[in-house]
Amino acid sequence: MEAVDTLLHAAWIIPVEPEGAVWPDHSLAIRDGRIVAVLPRHEAQARFTAAAEVHLPRQALIPGLVNTHTHSAMNLLRGLADDLPLMAWLGEHIWPTEQRWVDATFVEAGSRLAVAEMIKGGTTCFNDMYFFPEQTARVAAECGVRACIGMIVLDFPTRYAQHADDYLHKGLALHDAWRDHPLIHTAFAPHAPYSVSDAPLRQIKVLADELDVPIHMHVHETAVEVAEAITRDGCRPLARLEALELLGPNFMAVHMTQLMDAEIVLLARTGSHVIHCPESNLKLASGFCPVARLLAAGVNVALGTDGAASNNDLDLLSEMRTAALLAKGVSGDAAAVPAFQALQMATLNGARALGIGDQIGSLRPGKWADVVAVDLGGLDRQPLYHPLSQLVYTAHRDHVTDVWVAGRPLLRAGVLTHLDEAALIQSAREWGVRIATTPQETSNG
């Protein structure tokens, strides 16, 4: 018999590739962190001998979820300023609080809290944009999750950097420090068209091409953003980015709630990716991303949660369900974004946007064994006619029981294997008290 490290025996395997496939009574074999085979259970037991066998009689195995846009350390600002429009939320609350509190210690604590939350919800890879990204990279690596760490760029000073060149210098040092790590990737993360001027964007384009890394940016998040850009620049933000030659297969445009038909054609023609954050967009009343139209045009659409300060969680299973329901309501078509497509947006589409779709995002032999087990056996998931539909429309993150990244168990029977949940809760409470009881200082940053 062939030796493997781990055999996972599940009630169903939903591999994402082939599209819409659901395989009952199947097993997944892992060796050296990668998937060796996905096959019927009786064949797996006849073919393999494993150092560890895990029986999951109520669970569906799915690829690890990919959170393609978040600000992980903002977990420490969860609920700080709710029920406000975007620019008031940012300018009057979030930016002043960040200027007062955000340093390496804050980012380390917030990132660790976020990583634990994401693991418990089945997210095995996240794409981050925030200050002090060196801390987020270190936390992700220590916790064993996969991450694409944003090399953030802004025109204005913060506690992290003073100007665009300073941000770029620190970002390139981050890239060099992590370029060979198996779990950590990097992407340039210019904040938004309204906060980054042409000169640094041109420099980012050159560097991204040289280093072959993605670019990750908030674009067309609100109608106000677009209107102000027309007044300031004489064109819509996407047109400006096209003129700067930023659009292309390595470009991720986040939010995209304001799109004209010609812009959808442009995104499809350039191979740019759209990162949809439905719950944050709903909470901030930013608008509706036309997901069904984008997908019909051939644009790769992936999912993100945004930060917990504007969501207020990092629950990608919930995001997947909201994305499917919202697409139906916005398009007026109940068949828009069916369950298999919603799951693909939360897994393989995110991996493709990050440039690692050949490594993760589906349960295919040769890919990394980033795997999540979701319990479909509970009372509120019965009767069960279609496991894939039940996963998307009924399952919650509390139903995630087990998580592996590169074959390493990070969650076992609902318990984190390498993180102290009680200590994380205590740390978050202490930060909350500190922030809530300290007078807010305003700043031009």
Q: Which of 94, 127, 344, 349 is nearest to 216 (CA)?
A: 127
pTM confidence score:
0.97
Q: What is the pLDDT of residues 333-354, one digit of tens each?
A: 999 999 999 999 999 999 999 9
Take residue 417 and report the two structure tokens written for it: 């294997």
- What's residue 86's pLDDT? 82
The first and second tokens of residue 368, run together, are 């990394």
The structural domains of the chain, with segments of one domain joined by +, span 2-62+370-413, 65-353
422-425 long-range CB contacts below 8 Å, 24 or more apart? Answer: 424/112, 424/113, 424/116
Instruction: Return the pLDDT at 440.
Output: 57
Q: 31: part of which helix (H) or strand (E)?
A: strand 23-31
Report the CATH number of the 2-62+370-413 domain. Answer: 2.30.40.10
Locate 111 and state its tokens: 């990132």
Q: Give the tokens for residue 2.
A: 């062939």
Percentage of the chain exceeding pLDDT 90? 96
1.10.10.10, 3.20.20.140, 1.10.287.610, 3.40.50.2000: which CATH number matches 65-353? Answer: 3.20.20.140
pLDDT at residue 90 in the model: 85
Residue by residue, DSSP assigns 304-319 as ----TTSSS---HHHH
CA atoms of 94 and 87, how far apart (whole Å) = 10
The answer to whether the beta carbons of residues 267 and 244 sit under 8 Å apart is: no
Q: What are phi and psi of 147, to 5 degrees?
A: -150, 145
pLDDT band of 445, cuts 50, 70, 90 = very low
Write down the residue that tokens 């995630």 correspond to. Answer: 400
Asked if pLDDT for residue 442 goes beyond 60, the answer is no
111-142 pLDDT tens trace: 999 999 999 999 999 999 999 999 999 999 99
The tokens describing 27, both together, are 């097993």
Nearest to 257 by CA among 271, 241, 277: 277
Residues 357-391 as b or e (16 or more Cβ within 10 Å = b): bebbbbbbeebbbbbbbbbbeeeebeebeebbbbb
Q: Is the pLDDT assigned to residue 436 strictly greater than 60?
A: yes
The DSSP annotation for 153-206 comes to E-SS--SS-SSHHHHHHHHHHHHHHHTT-SSEEEEEEE--TTTS-HHHHHHHHH
pLDDT in tens, 21-79: 999 999 999 999 999 999 999 999 999 999 999 999 999 999 999 999 999 999 999 99
